[in-house]
Amino acid sequence: MSALFRLGKYILLMLLAALCLSLATPGEGGGRALTVYNPQTGLRAQLPAQDLNYVTIRFFHSYDRQWVEESFRLVGGKFYPCEVSYGADTYDYRDQRYQSRVRVGAHQIHLTDIKPRSSDILAQIATRVAFTKPQQLILHNAKGSRVYLFTEWGSPGQPLVFRIK
């Protein structure tokens, strides 16, 4: 009887450990996570992403001296561009023009209804923390949005890599 009791206790402990691990690692077992990695410091952060509609990276373009917003849908572990907004047409996302609908306003240019080429779909977004003005990662879901500053994960000049897990 005591051997059976110890076996049952062992099985119960293993089940509890498995449950704790599944709760502690968003992005596995059905939950999805947006991971942020700083290769210089080794910092890794995970942000829950299972209920996100899209993400936006907002940054100040140091050459053109304007704010730029790039929005991406998260599909199958990849970033699909869905909208870009900037102030002057001297900025062009990653030196290319998306196949999209372009709306030119008095102060902003908006690219919407983007039909991304395969080269536009990103498995990761690699960037650096800016010196001029802090960039923002904005997570959008049905309840609203949450803003994170890149400086939460690194100092100016340090690399950051965003991935979906």
> Which pLDDT belongs to residue 91?
55
| pLDDT, tens digit only, all 165 positions of the chain | 444 434 343 333 333 333 333 333 333 334 689 999 999 999 999 998 888 999 999 998 877 778 899 999 999 899 999 999 988 766 554 445 688 888 888 888 888 899 999 999 999 999 999 998 999 999 999 999 999 999 999 999 999 999 998
Write out the two tokens for 108. 């902003």
pLDDT of residue 103: 85
127, 135 Cβ separation under 8 angstroms = yes
Count of C-beta atoms within a 10 Å radius of residue 36: 21
Of the candidates 89, 98, 90, 150, the residue with the CA atom closest to the CA atom of residue 121: 98
Q: Please identify which residue in the block is written with the tokens 């140091």.
A: 62
In angstroms, what CA-CA distances link 160 with 2, 35, 149? 54, 10, 12
Whole-model pTM: value is 0.75
What is 117-138 written as a DSSP string? Answer: -GGG-BSEEEEE--SSS--EEE
